[in-house]
Amino acid sequence: MNALKRFKDCYFLYSFLRDPLAVGSLAVLVVLTVAAFAAPLIAPHNPYDPATIDIFDASTPPAWTPEGSEKFLLGTDAQGRDILSTMLYGMRVSLIIGFGATILQAFIGIIVGLSAGYFGRRLDALLMRLADVQLSFSTYMVAIFLGAVFQTAFGMANYETFAVPFLILVLGLAEWPQFARTVRASVMAEKKKEYVEAARVIGLGSRRIMWRHILPNTLTPVMVISTVQVANCIMGEAALSFIGLGMPITRPSLGSLIKAGFEFFLSGQWWITFFPGALLVLLIVAINLFGDWLRDFLNPKLYKG
């Protein structure tokens, strides 16, 4: 109870509730995430179950248009799948990949940043040069190449079976330098402080100092980047799917739904592309707005000014 009361009184919650944009974006985010993960319960149809799909329902426009059907609120795609259901399932795939890739990036970035910042010298120079070089290439380019290499290496069929872990790996490997740089910078600043010296005087090992003492103090910037990176990864996944390096259409993400719809877009079937696209933008805007607020709140420079 005490913890709850303390949370109620803290400045974090106070400033969060005072910003309608932050509250709104978090609310949208929560609703979308819950809807995505509850897709098997709330979706009107199951797009993974071929038995419920009827090809005669294909390309039905949304329910409020003259040719629309009551059964499909947002219409159906070229294979007769309900757009609303595929969107919910697709958003789940997008979110899993977005969070998964961000966790992988943070994991790699924290290990690299911690060791570079703590041990310094040669290791630091080598790792940071590597990060610089990779950052100087666009992360998209790296992701596209990695995706292409994986697809050629494992064959199309295998790639489609393991698309989710593959995409997490591709996006994770493509964008870790962001985390590594930030963690390194904060480690460099923390390393000089007295508590680290004290820990060293007690005789603690460097691994313990790194993980138990320094790391917790570098997590604030990591949190800020993480929110933005989730949005970036979802966008990256959508981009990869759009050029055919991402999720297969049998297990669509938002990106591959857009790609699938684009083939029919010019012939007037706008709804197959439009709704997944709008949902993708809504999701990313919500994450970015929340990330912006978090950054402004946690950034001590702006905090004082």
Partner 1 sequence: MFAFIVRRILQAVVVMAVISCIGFAIKHSFGDPVRELSGMTVSAQERERLREELGLNDPFLVQWGRFLKGAVHGDLGMSYLYKKPAMEIILGKAPATMELVIAASVIILILSVPIGIYAAVRPRSWLSRFFMGVSVIGVSIPVFLTAILLISIFSVQLGWLPSFGRGNELTPLFGGAWMSGFFTWDGITHLVLPALSLSSIMLPLFIRLIRAEMKETLEAEYVKFARAKGLKPWRVLVVHAFKNTLLPVITVGGVQLGIMIAYTVLTETVFQWQGMGFMFLEALQRSDVSLMSAYLVFVGFVFVVVNTVVDIVYGLVNPMVRIAGRK
Q: In this structure, what token pair is assigned to residue 176?
A: 């870790």
Q: Is there binding between residue 244 and partner 1 (CB under 8 A)?
A: yes
- Alpha-carbon span 126 to 128, nearest angstrom: 6
Residue type, 219: L
Listed ranges 33-41, 96-104, 139-147, 199-207: which one lies at the site for partner 1 (CB under 8 A): 139-147
Site membership for partner 1, residue 238 (CB under 8 A): yes
Q: Which stretch binds partner 1 (CB under 8 A): 178-186, 190-198, 201-209, 236-244?
A: 236-244
Residue type, 288: N
In angstroms, the CA 112 to CA 209 distance is 16
What number of chain residues touch partner 1 (CB under 8 A)?
37
One of 129, 193, 207, 208 touching partner 1 (CB under 8 A): 129
Is residue 148 involved in binding partner 1 (CB under 8 A)?
yes
For residue 286 the two structure tokens come to 């919500």
Q: Is 83 in the site for partner 1 (CB under 8 A)?
A: no
d(CA 100, CA 168): 6
Instruction: Give Cα separations from 174 to 97, 211, 298 (angstroms).
Output: 14, 24, 26
- The Cα–Cα gap between 216 and 251 comes to 38
Residue 292 touches partner 1, criterion: CB under 8 A: yes
**Which residue, 166, 132, 131, 155, is CA-closest to 241?**
166
Q: Which stretch binds partner 1 (CB under 8 A): 52-60, 86-94, 111-119, 277-285?
A: 277-285
> What residues does 76 pair with on adjacent strands?
82
Residue 7 sits in the site that holds partner 1 (CB under 8 A): no
The single residue among 39, 163, 247, 284 that binds partner 1, judged by CB under 8 A, is 284
Where do contacts with partner 1 occur on this chain (CB under 8 A)? 129, 133, 136-138, 140-141, 144-145, 148-149, 151-153, 231, 235, 238-239, 242-245, 255, 258, 262, 265-266, 270, 273, 277, 280-281, 284-285, 288-289, 292
